[in-house]
Amino acid sequence: MSESSRAAGRPDIWPQARPLRLGTGKVGIVVSHGFTGSVQSIRPWAEALAAPGDGYAGARVLAPRLPGHGTSWQDLARTRWWDWYGAVEDAYLQLSQECARVFVAGLSMGGALALLLAQRHTPAGVLLVNPAIATTDRRIPVASLLHKVLPPQAGIASDIAKEGVEELGYPRFSVTSLATMTDLWKVTRRGLGDVHAPVLLLRSTQDHVVDGATAKVLTKRIRGLEQVPLTRSFHVATLDHDADLIAETSRRFVTRHA
């Protein structure tokens, strides 16, 4: 830990977790990472969205570090879902001052934050990779109710099919953090009828973190939902075999709706 961090009582931020600002395009895109992860997990996606080429104009991209992430799981336990949402909303408002059209994108829990933002603002479109706003796992609601007495749980990072690739994430997390995330899910589900922007859903056919409940909810509640299967990747598909497919499909979606 650095001397300045010690003096302030704050943990160091991982270098790979620091916020990204990329590109100089006329279109803006906010890209959010997921629960217990960091900006490292969505960096290739953000870079692809920022880079022009092959008929794509390129975009101005902001990828914020969600509070409590990229430091320690204890730090995460001190934050709540509205802290995470605030970071995404701040990035969106910043880009809105610079760009006429702004999209919002998210991986996993970042997808929930993107959908919530689309309920409260008017993005040009929403891009989702393996988003999470629901589950069929009956243990999660029970754990959320008992979060004050349950011990930390094993981490969920690096669900990746591609050999030799690792997602930086916490080895464990407080159940209090899980509880506030499920509160985010509830808030996001309630307002899905207020999402009027076009939505792209890129979903792994084999995902060991997020089950099929979210896709069923979105298919039922979001009109004109565009779905693309990711057949070669697990949950962190932005670092997996389908990273190029995600980039290509996302660039086409942005071009079409910008």
Residue 185 lies in a domain: yes
Residue 153 lies in a domain: yes
How many C-beta neighbours within 10 Å does residue 143 have? 16
Q: How much helix, strand and coil, in percent to the nearest 5, is found in the chain?
A: 40, 15, 40
Residue 159 lies in a domain: yes
- In the chain, what percentage of residues exceed pLDDT 90? 76
As for how many domains the chain has, the answer is 1
pLDDT digits (tens, 9 = 90+) for 141-160: 766 675 665 666 777 788 89
- Residue 147: closest CA among 110, 123, 179: 179
- Between helices 109-120 and 175-190, what is the axis angle to 10°? 40
CATH classification of the domain holding 201: 3.40.50.1820
Rg (CA), the chain: 17
Catalytic residue set: 108, 207, 235
**Band of pLDDT at residue 258, cut at 50, 70 and 90:** confident
Q: Quick one: which H or E segment has residue 219?
A: helix 213-221
How many C-beta neighbours within 10 Å does residue 227 have? 14
Residue 224 lies in a domain: yes
Residue 234 known to bind ligand: no
Residue 148 lies in a domain: yes
Residue 12 lies in a domain: no
Residue 35 known to bind ligand: yes
Measured in degrees and rounded to the nearest 5, phi and psi for residue 202 equal -105, 115
Predicted TM-score (pTM) of this structure: 0.92
Residue 7 lies in a domain: no
| Domain extent at residue 245 | 18-257
Q: What is the pLDDT of residue 55?
A: 86
Q: What is the mean pLDDT of residues 220-237?
A: 95
Residue 4 lies in a domain: no
